[in-house]
Structure formats: structure tokens, C-alpha cells
Structure 1
């Protein structure tokens, strides 16, 4: 391993103050063992050499020397020697990606089979599958831009919303890339990390290119453009798959303006690629996203250095092992008192004596949480937030609800809202999401879930209002006793149950269309 001496320094240099004490320790011990010096005040100095018999010490290594070595190595390890900048593990993972897909009518052109939009959706399905574990967000745009889903590492959830996209979800015509960039910058501000915006489109509005470069000033956002379509364009089909007819009675064509896309790429200083039949376009996207993320992170790593002190723990353990020798003794009272003091700290019910001796309850809980032992993690955690999160993921919603209710943080209110939605308590869920957004206005997940809770509450109320009032089945009897038989009169109960269930269910496409329409009416505010 090559060490650059010009970069060598200590992360916690105050620990080096133990070095002078460690160096003086053998001298102080030798001074304390000097019998002549101690008797000098009681016996004449010229008689001492003749009265004392001091056998020659055959041992050159004493416990004090090992203590000195332990202090020296321990202080150096605690000081954190470093000479190499640290690249966290997550930098080796794929970069966060914000996907913006064009939903203007031209995306229904069939020059790319079956349509440009369907081809793009199929390509996005492959992209998020190969990026499993990385965070991806979804934005839909035409004449306005709308957040479909905030950054998430759940590919199944993201794919559900991708497949629900269609060109009729946004009623405002156009291709407003500026609004997309604004949405992406808000998401990155909440994520507090550099990221990449992938624009999937078949054209651009050249009249609005002049202000786009200013939107990216001093931004950690990189833009990639993936073009969909051919230069010849294609016929736009309607919802039934039939060609759309323009005012002149001819099939309407979807334009593909390569020149406009090149101007857009130049204005944004963005690489321009095109949809391919193989995976070359996906490799291109991932390469650019990863390179940008690593480059931007390198610029922010001035204070992040790799702590090499833990390597010294191995010689420390070796010295501690050799210090346990027959006939050797040290006054370990100070260390014993410290260990007893640490052991008397209050802790919940023990799990394992060995692990309790070396790991805190929160460390044990974190290990259990990361290895999907969620009920065990909820029992181990002392930290109230992590205990609540573990209980939530373990589906112990009673414990999670009680724990989150004691916390006054945006994340706690967000999880409270999720629990209330699962229990169909939409009023309480809306109140919890609203409180989370009051404490943290830039909270995309809470914003999305609040909209969903409002939509679910509205659908439930509408379903209850529209459900027909059906009386229980009636049994009619003949008035004349002894004549005829009882006859049940069946009502349309089964049909009403089916209608109620249909009213209650809301498809992602219907939800998105209502959401986009409301946002456009309110000025497309997030």
C-alpha cells in the first residue's frame, strides 16, 4: 500500500497527548524501583552500596514496557492516522437517477413500434430492473411538469406508475423542460446529493431554450437526453389504436425534430443519445450517471479521509495477549472501575452476554435490522426512532404507532401517516402528512403520500355516497294461514357490492390524471 507522506495527518490529533506520558512511564517505574534513592534519606549515602545487595535483573521486558507500548499504539490508533481520501461504499453503487418522460401527443407516433411512448416505457422497465438497489424518481411532463414518484429504491412500485403513463394524463400542450429542471432541482435539494436527470423525449420547444442554461447554474444536476423516434416521424394513434385525423382529414403525424433536440442538448450542455434495440442506450445512461455522481462527490470529499487507525488494533490485541504472563501483575484498578461503570449503564433485557460486552444495544439492533431480523431489531433498539422504524418494517404497527407518537420529527409524522393509511384512517393520515410538511417543507415522499391519502379518502367517500341503499332480503308470507308457501324475494345485492368495489378502486392512471389536473389548475405548484 503506497502512502503519500504529503497527505499524512491525524483526524483526532489530541489523542497524541498521551505519547509523552507513555514515554515517561518506564522512567517513572524505574525511578520507583530504585531502592538506593528511597533509603538515601535514612542511611548515609556512602554506606548504601555496601549495605544493599541488588541482584541483576535477568528480564529485560517488564509489564510496564507493554503498558507503554499499548499506550503508544492506542493513542496513535485513536488519533486516526490517515493519508488517503475515503470513497464511501455508496459511491461505488449506481448514482441516483431522475427520469422525466415526455407525455405530449407526439409520443404516440408509431415510427417506433408499437409507439414511441410504449417503447420508452419498455426501455424504462429494463433500466430500473438493472438498477435494483439504486434510487430512481419519475417525472411526467408536457406543457407542465409533475412529480409522479419521488426517489425510491422499489423497482416494482416505480414500474407500476411507469406502465400507467399515457399521453392523455396532462391536458396542457407543449414540452416544458424548464419546469422539469425545477422539479429535479427540488428533489435533489431534498436528497442532498448530486444526481442525473434523464429526459426521454422526441422533441423540444426551441422558443424556451434561452433560459434553460441559467436554471443549471451552480447546480449538482446533470442532464442526459434520450431521443425517441425516427427522423421521418410517424402516425399518431388514438386510445383505440386508430390513426388520429387532423382538421384536413389526414392522419396526424408525430414530429421528430432532431435539430431541436441538438439545440436543447447544446443549451443544457447535455449528452444526446437515442433509443436503441439493444442495451447500449442503458449502458450509456448508467455510465454518465455514475461518472457525474463520482466526480461531484469527489469535489465534496475534502474532509472525508480514510481512518487507518483500526489496523493498529491487531498489534494492540497481540500485545494485550502477551501481557498475560505468569508472575506479572499490574494495578488495573482504574481500568476495572471504568469497565464496571460502563457495565452499570441501564439497558433493556439482555440478549447475549458476549455481544452485550462488545456491542451496544443500538449496534446489535442495527445489525439485526440490516440482516432483516426485524422483530429482533425492534426489541434490541434503544434509540426511539430506530426502534419505531424497525417495528414499522416488522409490521408491528401497534408498537410503531406508540413509538412514533412520542417523536416530534418530520420522519415520525411521515411514518404515522403511513400507518394510518394502512388502517384506513385517512383523516389522521392527512393530518400527520401535513404536520410533516410543516416541519420539513421539502419532503417529496410526504407530499406524494398526502396526495394519495386525499385521493383515497375522496374515493372512499364517493363510494359510500354512490352505494345504493338496499334493504335486507324480505320474506313475504300468504295472508291466509295454511295456504301457499313462503317465498323469498331476492334483491340486486350482488350487483351493488360489485359496483361499490369498482367505485372504491382507483387505478394509478386515474389517480395521476386527477393529480396533474389539480396541479395545473393550481399553477403546477408542487
Structure 2
């Protein structure tokens, strides 16, 4: 036997107090009766069966409470095997970690805001596998596809602009790295969420998007940043902003045109983020969940224990009814 709610068994402590109360009350009644009449007269006035009926009544009440406590604890015994099929979508989140993501036009900066929103997305997942790609001038698979959301958060937290020495924004390379992370044998249930400011320095983003489309991968793009541009903090000097060869401050601007084309060419969607709301909730709940076909990710078997609380509930009610028929007169 096992219990689904074993914490209710602690109520047995209260049951022991109830038993003690009935024992004390029984003795107290005898003592009070003995103060008014002699033992011989008490035996004639209150026959022994009266005391016996009181004990039976108290016993039935105690048994009823005992069975009700067992019913609350949900006893279970006997089981049958149940197959559990887990369905979902494979999602790769590609996060731009180039130095332009340090711009603070979105507080605290583009990268930190993106990481925060991706962490929230992981909390929304309902049986989907997630992977993470970091990219700048090149890209790498930071976290392979996994159902371990705790591990995914750990990999997400270490994303930083220092992870990739080659600077730039190679969107095409990031898309191809994400494609390689999927199973090549399947043509469905695959989605890429691309978070970037869109400053594509390689120029092959559209070709990579076409390759994704051929593999059945939908790309959902979030453009992060302001079109008017924002300065990039200079981490090397730890002060001021990055400047070009002429000494002018470099501004990083959101390049929406190429990002929109990437998304539309794969049947995905594009969202612009300016104030930090990355709309990942909308992309996941309305786009991915509704437009990307699910697949069976894994099948497991578990024991389904049979609930037996009904027996104890019935016994408790039976005891309560029985004590009503025990009359002391």
C-alpha cells in the first residue's frame, strides 16, 4: 500500500487525543455518578450495559475518524501500466552575442533583455525540446536539443559577447548551425527563433533561410534595437563608446529589411522589439504552437496505481451510521 497524500496521516495525532478525551470523559462520568449514590444503588440506576453502549458509541466515532483520515491520505494498491506519449516541437533559439548587442537602447542592454525573455520562454514550454545557438562573426551550438529545461537555463546564463572572438553578425551561419542541430530525417516540427539586431555582415542570410525552408524549418525572427541607432559600449577600454578610424562614435542600427525577408521566406513571422518586449509569448503560443506541427518526442511507461480511498470512506460512513443506532437508554 502507498499513499498519495501521506501528510494527512499526521492527523492521527489528533485521533490519539480524541481517544484520550473519550477515556477521560468515561472515567469522569463514573466519578460524578458515584458522588450522588452508593455503588449498590448506582448499579441499579445505571446498569452495566449503559456504560458498555457508551464505549461502543465512542469506539465507532473513533473508527469513523480513523477511516476518514486514511481516505484523505488516498491509499493506493494494485497498478496497471500506462503508456505516456510526449508530443512537442523542436525549437532552436539563436541569440546574437555580437558586441552590438551591448547597446542600451533596450534596458539594461539588448543581450541581457534577450536572455531574460528566453528564460521566460523556457518556463512556458509544454513538452517541447529546446536548444540554444550563440552567434556573432561565427556561431556554435551552445545547448543541444533537450527536454532538460534546467540545463537549458544554465547554458543560456553563460551567453556573453566574450564567448566568440570573431566579431560581426553572421546570421546565415547561425541559421545553418541551427539546421544542423535538428534531425535531418524529419521534415516537420522544427522552428528557429532568431534574436538579433540584423546587422548581417556576411550577406548570406537569405540563402540560409532558403536552406531552412527546404528542410521544413520555420524561422521566427525578433529584431531587437532602434532603427535610428545606438552607441556600443567599449568594453576593452571600460569607458566610453566604440569609435571608427575617424574617431566618430559607431552606431548600431536595426536592419529590419533582411530580417523580414528571412522570416517570410520560411513561413515564419517577424516581430520588432524596441522597448524590450520581445513578444516571445506570442511567437510561442500563437505562432509555433498553432502553425508548427507537433511530433512524438518520446514514449514512456508508468505505473498507474488504483485509488482505494472509497473503501475507507465507506467504512467511515458506516461507522457513523452505526453509532446513531447505539442508544444509551
Shorter chain as denominator, the TM-score bin is: 0.5 to 0.7
| 1:264-275 equivalences in 2 (<5 Å) | 264-275=262-273
| 1:262-301 equivalences in 2 (<5 Å) | 262-275=260-273, 277=276, 280-294=279-293
Structure 2 residue corresponding to 1:218, chosen from 201, 214, 219: 214
| 1:78-477 equivalences in 2 (<5 Å) | 90-91=86-87, 94-131=88-125, 133-189=127-183, 192=186, 194-205=189-200, 207-239=203-235, 240=238, 242-275=240-273, 277=276, 280-294=279-293, 366-367=301-302
Residues 178 and 215 in structure 1, CA contact (< 8 A), matched pair in contact too: no
**Quick one: distance in 2 between partners of 1:280 and 1:213?**
21
What SS is found at the alignment partner of 2:167? coil
Decide whether aligned partners of structure 1 residues 210 and 99 sit closer, same or farther in structure 2, where only a CA change above 3 A counts. Answer: closer
Q: How high is the TM-score relative to the length of structure 2? A: 0.56
Cα deviation, 1:278-311, whole Å, max 9, x if unaligned, reads 57442223322122332x75xx9xxxxxxxxxxx
What is the Cα deviation at residue 173 of structure 1? 3.0
Decide whether aligned partners of structure 1 residues 105 and 267 sit closer, same or farther in structure 2, where only a CA change above 3 A counts. Answer: farther
**Quick one: distance in 1 between partners of 2:110 and 2:281?**
17
RMSD: 3.1
**Quick one: distance in 2 between partners of 1:289 and 1:234?**
31
Cα deviation, 1:71-118, whole Å, max 9, x if unaligned, reads xxxxxxxxxxxxxxxxx9644xx5221100111221111111111111
Decide whether aligned partners of structure 1 residues 160 and 224 sit closer, same or farther in structure 2, where only a CA change above 3 A counts. Answer: same
Cα deviation, 1:147-189, whole Å, max 9, x if unaligned, reads 0010112222212221211122212233323322322222221
Cα deviation, 1:10-65, whole Å, max 9, x if unaligned, reads xxxxxxxxxxxxxxxxxxxxxxxxxxxxxxxxxxxxxxxxxxxxxxxxxxxxxxxx
Identify, as 1 or 2, the structure richer in helix: 1
Structure 2: 5+ residue stretches without partners = 1-83, 306-329
Decide whether aligned partners of structure 1 residues 210 and 119 sit closer, same or farther in structure 2, where only a CA change above 3 A counts. Answer: closer
Decide whether aligned partners of structure 1 residues 219 and 253 sit closer, same or farther in structure 2, where only a CA change above 3 A counts. Answer: same
What is the Cα deviation at residue 137 of structure 1? 0.2
How many pairs does the alignment contain?
Answer: 214
Residues 101 and 140 in structure 1, CA contact (< 8 A), matched pair in contact too: yes
What SS is found at the alignment partner of 2:222? strand
**Quick one: distance in 2 between partners of 1:202 and 1:185?**
20
Residues 173 and 208 in structure 2, CA contact (< 8 A), matched pair in contact too: no
What SS is found at the alignment partner of 2:95? strand
Decide whether aligned partners of structure 1 residues 237 and 213 sit closer, same or farther in structure 2, where only a CA change above 3 A counts. Answer: closer
What is the Cα deviation at residue 266 of structure 1? 4.2
**Quick one: distance in 2 between partners of 1:269 and 1:190?**
19
Residues 204 and 261 in structure 1, CA contact (< 8 A), matched pair in contact too: no
Q: How high is the TM-score relative to the length of structure 1? A: 0.37
For structure 1, which segment, 142-151 or 282-291, has the greater mean C-alpha deviation from structure 2 after superposition? 282-291
What SS is found at the alignment partner of 1:166? coil
**Quick one: distance in 1 between partners of 2:104 and 2:160?**
14
Identify, as 1 or 2, the structure richer in strand: 2
Decide whether aligned partners of structure 1 residues 271 and 229 sit closer, same or farther in structure 2, where only a CA change above 3 A counts. Answer: same
Residues 212 and 267 in structure 1, CA contact (< 8 A), matched pair in contact too: no
What SS is found at the alignment partner of 1:225? strand
**Quick one: distance in 1 between partners of 2:284 and 2:229?**
24
Cα deviation, 1:465-490, whole Å, max 9, x if unaligned, reads xxxxxxxxxxxxxxxxxxxxxxxxxx
Residues 212 and 268 in structure 1, CA contact (< 8 A), matched pair in contact too: no
What is the Cα deviation at residue 124 of structure 1? 0.8
| 1:30-49 equivalences in 2 (<5 Å) | none
**Quick one: distance in 2 between partners of 1:185 and 1:219?**
8
What is the Cα deviation at residue 235 of structure 1? 1.5
What is the Cα deviation at residue 119 of structure 1? 0.9
What corresponds to 1:49 in structure 2? none
What SS is found at the alignment partner of 2:228? coil
Cα deviation, 1:135-154, whole Å, max 9, x if unaligned, reads 11000112212000101122
What SS is found at the alignment partner of 2:203? helix
